[in-house]
Amino acid sequence: MASEYAVYIIFAIAFLYSILSTFITRKFGNYNRIKEIQKTFNEISKEMSDASKANDKLRTDVAMKRQQDAMPQLWESMFLQFKPLIIILPLLFILPPLLRDNFPGFTIELPFQIPVFIQNFEHFPNWRSLFGPVGWFWISVIICALFISLGMKVWEERQKEKKG
């Protein structure tokens, strides 16, 4: 493979992985249900905080009871968040070796350093600017995922505006 295009090819793979990962997470993780559960727990947390600030024992007890009753929803939320990993994790075992094998001499040097937390624990965090194909893939995934997430949030807000 042409090494001058390796940066773009790896970035494209990361972009596709980010899209696929986002789609799988939303499709199989029941994103709307997770948001609903999070909203419930945020409301309970606010109730408890308000009751605590007001020093209202009755309201605090009611909020605590509501929280206990909602615990099965918390377990459901955790399960829904882990469910997509059944599909995504195998990709994580396949992609790094493929990248290493197909781009053996590839390195990219960024104009700045970023912390790498998984290597060289003696100098934790390890600040680096030079990355191989797997490192560039993960940096690209983070960048792509952030932009995809931001784009989806903007799109959802626009959909809400159209409806309301």
Beta bridge partners of 116: 126
HSE, side-chain direction, 13 A CA sphere, residue 53: 6
* Amino acid type, 130: L
Q: 51 pLDDT band (50/70/90 cuts)?
A: confident
Sign of the CA dihedral with 91 first, then 96, 97, and 99 last: positive
Residue 2 has pLDDT above 60, yes or no: no
pLDDT score for 121: 64
Query: For 53-68, b where at least 16 C-beta lie within 10 A, e where not — what string?
Result: eeeeeeebeebeeebe
Residues 115 and 136: beta-carbon distance below 8 Å = no
Sign of the C-alpha dihedral computed for residues 66, 71, 76 and 81 taken in this order: positive
* Rounded-to-integer distance, Cα 10 and Cα 102, Å: 10
Cβ 65 vs Cβ 58: under 8 Å? no
Task: Tell me the two tokens of residue 88.
Answer: 């995504």
60 vs 56: CA distance, rounded Å: 6
| pLDDT of res. 160 | 86
Q: Which residues contact 61 (CB under 8 A, 6 or more apart)?
A: none
Q: How far is CA 39 from the centre of its chain?
A: 19
Q: How many CB atoms lie within 10 A of CB 41?
A: 16
Q: What mean pLDDT value characterizes the chain?
A: 88
Q: Kindly report, residue by residue over 101-154, the tens digit of the pLDDT.
A: 999 999 999 999 988 876 666 767 788 899 999 999 999 999 999 999 999 999
- Sign of torsion over alpha carbons 48, 51, 55, 57: negative
